[in-house]
Amino acid sequence: MAITDSEILSVKQRFGIIGTSSQLNHAVRVAMQVAPTDMSVLITGASGSGKESFSKIIHHLSPRKHGQFIAINCGSIPEGTIDSELFGHEKGSFTGAHESRKGYFEVTNGGTIFLDEIGEMPLATQARLLRVLENGEFIKVGSSKVVKTDVRVVAATNINLLQKVEEGKFREDLYYRLSTVPIFVPALRERGKDIELLFRKFAGDFAEKYKVKPITLTEDAKEIIIKYRFPGNIRQLKNLVEQISVLSSDQKEIDGEKLQQYLPKETNLPAIYHGLQEKDNISEREILYKVLFDMRKDVNELKKIVLESVVNPAKAAQIVKENAGLFEDIDSKMETAVSRESVVFNLASESSDSEQVDEEEEVQDISHEAEDDSLSIEKKEKELILRALSKNNNKRKYAAKDLGISERTLYRKIKQYELEE
């Protein structure tokens, strides 16, 4: 039986999905069609695009709607405990296991489990999950007894799982078992006028919450916000509207100039991510490597400029002026790589009556650095992790947030580099 446009509209209203773009409507239609079945579903889309809403559509329109629904972020559970969280454990099975515990797959028997960031799941856990999907059974950590369960799995990811399969980081059999029915949730920047609709919705919500008059956009502001790429998607737009609603108490009609004051400047990192995501759907680590390699090339160029300035001090100011764009580019990349901790390069020209510099010594040192310059990815990664941990008083949750990686990935890196105290 075909699903009508009015039925799609009704479901969107029920689950708070706002928008009229064809891609969004198609995603809702597929979710409605697959909901009555027990087929596994893989939801793909950028972070913050609203993938969890589609998992709820699938659960609440299914025969399992009276069962339990649990949403789990696989990237936020440390590798050493994820098996226990999902499948449970027996008393004494590991240090700290003072009593037996039921896992999510046992608790949710008869319901639906939503596994977000499935690409972050360790390979050993993937094998356990495949057994649940194939046979409906699992074994608790520290036990030999097989436990039966009847759970529907809906998974989601914002990365290219096929690329993970090729790299040997995700099981191919699990990928095809999960993606029986794929659903793609479009990014906010791909939804056109939906951005304006969502802005009005959030403006009304926050006006009611904070007891203020709702903000509106002028025509030029509407053009700007529709063209903005919103790397954080719906989550970022919602935060933006809340910020403007609270801070613009004196001006409720927001024009283009005013809006630009609230929109974050797009740094090199989103530009790199945007350019490569559509082609390769790369990970955060690969983005960081790309930034670091670009910085290496720029720093070598900078050393040549410094060398030339030392050799020709009279032309130093002119040389700096001609290469101002390079300094800005390096500064921007440093801000991206170390979470807004930028390095400022200052080259001051020397006057004719200043102290004479030992040119031969300076030239020799700089050229030696240029020749021996090497960029160790592991060394840089270790330095960034140490800096983030120090900055956040060794609180891994906040350090991972600063680094733009999951807590589980940070936990693994700390063990890899033996950074534990």
In a domain, 361, yes or no: yes
Lowest-pLDDT choice from 18-27, 181-190, 291-300, 401-410: 291-300
Predicted local confidence at residue 248, as pLDDT: 85
Backbone angles phi, psi at 340, to 5 degrees: 70, 10
pLDDT tens digits, 346-389: 333 333 444 444 444 443 443 344 334 444 667 778 888 888 88
Q: Are residues 207 and 176 in the same domain?
A: no
Backbone angles phi, psi at 264, to 5 degrees: -65, 145
* Three-state DSSP class for residue 100: coil
pLDDT tens digits, 113-144: 999 999 999 999 999 999 999 999 999 999 99
In a domain, 267, yes or no: no
The Cα 167–Cα 308 span in angstroms is: 44
Domain range for residue 138? 5-186
Highest mean pLDDT: which range of 31-45, 86-100, 317-331: 31-45
Backbone angles phi, psi at 273, to 5 degrees: -60, -45
Residue among 169, 231, 245, 233 at smallest CA distance from 202: 245
Q: Are residues 109 and 209 in the same domain?
A: no
In a domain, 268, yes or no: no
At a CB cut-off of 8 Å and minimum separation 6, what does 404 contact? 284, 288, 339
Highest mean pLDDT: which range of 17-31, 308-322, 387-401: 17-31
- Which of 145, 162, 186 terminates a domain? The answer is 186
Backbone angles phi, psi at 137, to 5 degrees: -145, 160
Q: Are residues 112 and 204 in the same domain?
A: no
In a domain, 421, yes or no: no
Q: DSSP characters for 283-305?
A: -HHHHHHHHHHHHHHHHHHHHHH
- What are the distances in angstroms from CA 207 to CA 199, 200, 263, 300? 12, 10, 20, 52
Predicted local confidence at residue 389, as pLDDT: 84
Q: Are 62 and 112 in contact (CB under 8 A)?
A: yes
Predicted local confidence at residue 97, as pLDDT: 80
Q: Are 99 and 91 in contact (CB under 8 A)?
A: yes
pLDDT tens digits, 38-80: 999 999 999 999 999 999 999 999 999 999 999 999 999 998 8
Q: Are residues 239 and 282 in the same domain?
A: no
Predicted local confidence at residue 354, as pLDDT: 41
Q: How confident is the model at residue 285 (pLDDT cuts 50, 70, 90)?
A: low
pLDDT tens digits, 395-417: 888 888 878 788 888 888 888 87
In a domain, 164, yes or no: yes
Predicted local confidence at residue 348, as pLDDT: 37
What does pLDDT average to over the chain?
Answer: 81
Overall domain count for the chain: 4
Burial class of residue 345 (count of CB atoms within 10 Å of its CB; 0-12, 13-18, 19+):
middle
Q: Are residues 25 and 152 in the same domain?
A: yes
Q: Among residues of the chain, what percentage have pLDDT more than 70?
A: 73
**Which of 227-231's residues contact partners 24+ apart within 8 Å by CB, and which partners?**
228/189, 228/195, 228/263, 229/189, 229/266, 229/270, 229/274, 230/187, 230/188, 230/189, 230/195, 231/266, 231/270, 231/273, 231/274
Backbone angles phi, psi at 398, to 5 degrees: -80, -30
Backbone angles phi, psi at 54, to 5 degrees: -75, -30
Q: Are residues 321 and 382 in the same domain?
A: no
Q: Are residues 100 and 164 in the same domain?
A: yes
Look at the block and give the residue holding tokens 């999960």.
Answer: 178
**Domain CATH code at residue 407:** 1.10.10
Predicted local confidence at residue 415, as pLDDT: 80
In a domain, 86, yes or no: yes
DSSP letter assigned to residue 101: B
Q: Are residues 361 and 245 in the same domain?
A: no
Q: Are residues 159 and 176 in the same domain?
A: yes
Backbone angles phi, psi at 120, to 5 degrees: -90, 0
- Which of 155, 170, 186 terminates a domain? The answer is 186
The Cα 348–Cα 320 span in angstroms is: 9
- How many other CB atoms are found less than 10 A from the CB of residue 109? 15
177: amino acid identity, one letter: R
- Between strands 253-254 and 152-157, the pairing is unpaired
Query: Which residues are registered as beta bridge partners of 148?
Result: 137
Report, as an integer, the average pLDDT of 262-276.
56
In a domain, 46, yes or no: yes
**Domain CATH code at residue 224:** 1.10.8.60
Query: Which residues are registered as beta bridge partners of 115?
Result: 72, 155
Q: DSSP characters for 198-263?
A: HHHHHHHHHHHHHTSPPPEE-HHHHHHHHHS--TTHHHHHHHHHHHHHHH-TT--EE-HHHHHHHS
Task: Please compute Rg for the chain using Cα positions.
Answer: 26
Residue among 104, 98, 107, 118 at smallest CA distance from 40: 118
E strand intervals along 244-389: 253-254
Q: Are 407 and 396 in contact (CB under 8 A)?
A: yes
- Which of 239, 262, 285 terminates a domain? The answer is 262
Predicted local confidence at residue 221, as pLDDT: 95
Tokens of 388: 């983030």
**Domain CATH code at residue 104:** 3.40.50.300
Q: Are residues 354 and 392 in the same domain?
A: no
Please provide the distance, in angstroms rounded to a whole number, between the alpha carbons at the two ends of the chain.
61
Query: Which residues are registered as beta bridge partners of 254?
Result: 217
Q: Are residues 169 and 244 in the same domain?
A: no
Predicted local confidence at residue 93, as pLDDT: 83
Predicted local confidence at residue 268, as pLDDT: 45
In a domain, 269, yes or no: no
Lowest-pLDDT choice from 42-51, 77-86, 315-324: 315-324
184: amino acid identity, one letter: F
Residue 335 pLDDT > 90: no
Q: Are residues 13 and 100 in the same domain?
A: yes
Q: How confident is the model at residue 214 (pLDDT cuts 50, 70, 90)?
A: very high
